[in-house]
Amino acid sequence: MSIRWKLPAAGITLCLAGLGACSDGPETTPAPVPETTAARAPGVVHTLLEDYRVVTVAEGLDVPWSLAWLPSGEMLITERSGNLRILRDGVLQSEPITGIPAVKAVDQGGLLDVAAHPNFGYNRLVYFTYSKPATDGSGSSTTALGRGRLEGNRLLEVEEIFVAKAWSDTNGHYGSRIAFDDAGHLFMTVGDRQAPPSGDLKNHPAQRLDTHQGKVLRLNEDGSAPADNPFSGVSGALPEIWSYGHRSLQGLAIHPVTGQLWQTEHGPQGGDELNLIVPGSNYGWPVIGYGVNYGPGAPIHQAQRQEGMEQPKYFWVPVIAASGLMIYNGNAFPEWKGNLFAGGLAGQKVVRLEVSGDSVLSTEVIFSGHRVRDVREGPDGFIYLAAEDSGEILRLEPAR
């Protein structure tokens, strides 16, 4: 393992709750606080509240997408190309875990999220999402959820327990994060599959309830739809839908104390969002938002807000290409407890967001220099990052 400390400066921005990234907001715009530059010493990064070192935990990975831990301390890592890898006793095993089904590893597609069942010690179940290719030769694909029982280096009894009604011949906006609650459910995100925002915006797939495109889903652990979902029994609506009106959902996390479900998604050219998910709610894409069309910057949305559609709790202009999302609950960085941490791809950063209730009070860039696909808290309380550009898993450790 090698210590890496060649990090650009971190910075902080304060903003009024709910107004976004201190750019033009829908009501008033707070005056931004000048960016604070992080001081550095060899091997140490100083942020406003905590100092840390960066350690390389694993390298040589092919676009690492997600991380998960087993009770043994072993780490599961997905590679977008379709391999599920395991880090055992601090060593990345050379052979991938067998049993993963075929994935469409093209552009944004491939093997995506991974999570161990909350009762893994009893049932040894591992869940994963992936881009499922069609078998009819059409070239289309969708987002699917699978699970299998992990024994040694093999996934056994692999089942495809949910296939989203989000088939498309595009190769992007699959989602797809999964998160377990403590009541026997899992949440899963499915992107809008790059459906163009044109014509009747309110008839866009993300706005319709007869498709899983652009949705947060709530499933039972076997992939079925809970009877108490908000659209269960509604004519023409898919019963798995928990919320809708989303674009490209890359982050999902349940607050370990409050139980709130937080989510991040990519906007177009501008308008990445942090949302607090309320069941049955419409989050607006593409009818409302804070971005514009790629290239010429032509308008997309009807407005920035509209009655009956939720506002983000925070938004980024310009975007960071929001990816993995984590809510810190460990003891290694006590000053960060309860904060949200959002990875950024195009932004090549990790943003710390201080929240109170459902409001964002401040933000700070605590890490820069890599396309961060995932951010996770380890069982040791350290923070782990999947750097897709360098193929590394990095660990932030306290510098005390």
| Active-site annotation holds for 246 | no
Which residues is 103 bridged to in the sheet?
A: none
Catalytic choice (46, 117, 173, 301): 173
* Residue in the block written with tokens 């699917």: 144
DSSP state letters, 215-277: EEEEEETTSPPPTTSTTTT-TTS-TTEEEE--SEEEEEEE-TTT--EEEEEE-SBS-EEEEE-
The three-class DSSP label of residue 91 is: strand
Q: Where are the beta strands (DSSP E) in 259-339?
A: 261-266, 272-276, 314-316, 322-327
Query: What single DSSP character describes residue 312?
Result: P
Write phi, then psi, for 29 (nearest 5 degrees).
-115, 120
Which residues is 149 bridged to in the sheet?
A: 125, 156
Residues contacting residue 76 through CB under 8 Å, at least 6 positions apart? 67, 68, 69, 70, 84, 85, 86, 97, 114, 116, 126
Among all residues, which ones are annotated catalytic?
Answer: 173
